[in-house]
Structure 1
Amino acid sequence: MAISKKGKRKITVNSENYLWWIFTEFDQTEFDGVQIKIVAENQSGYLKYGLEQIDKKRYISIGLNQNKYKVHILCPKFENDDGIITPSGIETLIKWSLSVSEIKSKENQITHGYSMQIGLIDKNEYLKTYEKILNGFISL
C-alpha cells in the first residue's frame, strides 16, 4: 500500500530516498509520546525512534517489510538538548541505523528481535535478523 506524502518530509541518504515524519502517540506503539518514523521510499523497511526516551535505555526500532523482521537496538541520542531533531539529525539516525560496516559492533546493543514467522527471536539470532533487515532494507 502506498504511503501518502502529505505532511511528510523527504531526505536522501547514501543515494537512497526516505520519507520521515514526527507524530505523537500513546499506548499504540513502542514509544509513548513524540516519535519519528522513517520509511524507505520503496517501502522495504522503516525506522522508529522516540524523542522522549531515557538516555540509558534509548533505542531505535528497525523493521523490514511490515514487521517481517524487527529488532530494537540501543542507540545514541539524535536530537539536540532541547529535544528537537533536525534534518541533519535524521540523516545521522539513518546512517547510524543502517551502517553495514558497523553490524558486528552493534551485536551486544540489540535488545529485542522479532520474526513474523516465529515470533520472538532468541538472543543468539539477533545479529542474523539485523543482517536480514539490512540486506532487504537498503541496496548493498
Structure 2
Amino acid sequence: MAISKKNKSKVSVDGKEYLWWVFDEYDQTEFDGIQIKAVSSDQTHFIKYGLQQSLNNSKLVLALKNYTKLVHLSLPPKFENNEGVITKTGINRMIKWCKKDVHHIEYALDGSRNDLTEAEKQLLLKELQKIIR
C-alpha cells in the first residue's frame, strides 16, 4: 500500500530515500506525544523517534513495516535542534545513527518471540541494519 506524500518530507541517506513526518499521538505507539516516523521508499522498514525525551531514558525504534521484527535502541542522542525542532539534517543523523555498529538494545521482537537472549538481539539488529544499508 502506498504512503500518501501529503504533509511529508523526503530525505536521501546514503542513496536510500525516506519519507518522514512529525505527528502527535498518545496511547497508540511506543512514544507518547510528538514523534517522528521515517519510512523507507520501498516500505520495508521504518524508524520512529520521540521528541522531548529525557536523555537518560530515550530510545529509538527500528522495525520492519509489519512490526514482525523490531528493536528498541537505548539512549540515542538528540536529533532535534536546540529549539526542539527536527530538520532534514536531524533525520539524516537519526538514520545514520541506526547504522552504527554498537547499540544497546532495550527490547527486541522477532516474530512472536520477545524473550531473546542478548546474542539473539544483536543478530536481529544486524539483520535489520542490513536492510537499511
* Fold agreement, TM-score > 0.5: yes
Establish whether residue 8 from structure 1 lines up as the match of residue 12 from structure 2.
no
User: How far apart are residue 118 of structure 1 and its match?
Assistant: 2.5
Establish whether residue 89 from structure 1 lines up as the match of residue 84 from structure 2.
no
Task: Write the deviation string for residues 66-100 of structure 1: whole angstroms up to 9, x where unpaired.
Answer: 11210011211111222111111111111111x2x
Of 111-120 and 4-13, the range deviating more from structure 2: 111-120
Counterpart amino acid of residue 83 in structure 2:
D
In 2, the alpha carbon distance for the partners of 1:21 and 1:55 equals 22
How many residue pairs align between the two structures?
A: 132
**What is the DSSP-based 3-state SS (H/G/I as helix, E as strand, rest coil) of the residue aligned with 2:129?**
helix
Unpaired segments of 5 or more residues in structure 1? none
In 2, the alpha carbon distance for the partners of 1:118 and 1:96 equals 26
Structure showing the higher helix proportion among its residues = 1
Question: 1:48 is matched with which residue?
Answer: 48
Establish whether residue 131 from structure 1 lines up as the match of residue 126 from structure 2.
yes
**What is the DSSP-based 3-state SS (H/G/I as helix, E as strand, rest coil) of the residue aligned with 1:82?**
coil
Question: 2:27 is matched with which residue?
Answer: 27
In 1, the alpha carbon distance for the partners of 2:38 and 2:7 equals 13
User: How far apart are residue 5 of structure 1 and its match?
Assistant: 1.0
In 2, the alpha carbon distance for the partners of 1:65 and 1:38 equals 11
Of 7-16 and 80-89, the range deviating more from structure 2: 80-89
The structure 2 residue matched to 1:112, chosen from 93, 99, 107, is: 107
Q: TM-score when scaled to structure 1?
A: 0.88
Q: TM-score when scaled to structure 2?
A: 0.92
Structure 1 consecutive aligned stretches of length 4 or more whose deviation exceeds 4 Å: none
In 2, the alpha carbon distance for the partners of 1:87 and 1:11 equals 7
In 2, the alpha carbon distance for the partners of 1:53 and 1:60 equals 10
Counterpart amino acid of residue 123 in structure 1:
E
User: How far apart are residue 136 of structure 1 and its match?
Assistant: 2.7
**What is the DSSP-based 3-state SS (H/G/I as helix, E as strand, rest coil) of the residue aligned with 1:77?**
coil
Does the 8 Å CA contact 1:64/1:137 hold for their aligned counterparts? no
**What is the DSSP-based 3-state SS (H/G/I as helix, E as strand, rest coil) of the residue aligned with 1:29?**
coil
Counterpart amino acid of residue 70 in structure 1:
L
Question: 2:62 is matched with which residue?
Answer: 62
In 2, the alpha carbon distance for the partners of 1:117 and 1:132 equals 17
In 1, the alpha carbon distance for the partners of 2:55 and 2:112 equals 32
Establish whether residue 122 from structure 1 lines up as the match of residue 117 from structure 2.
yes
User: How far apart are residue 126 of structure 1 and its match?
Assistant: 1.1
- Identity over aligned residues, as a percent? 38
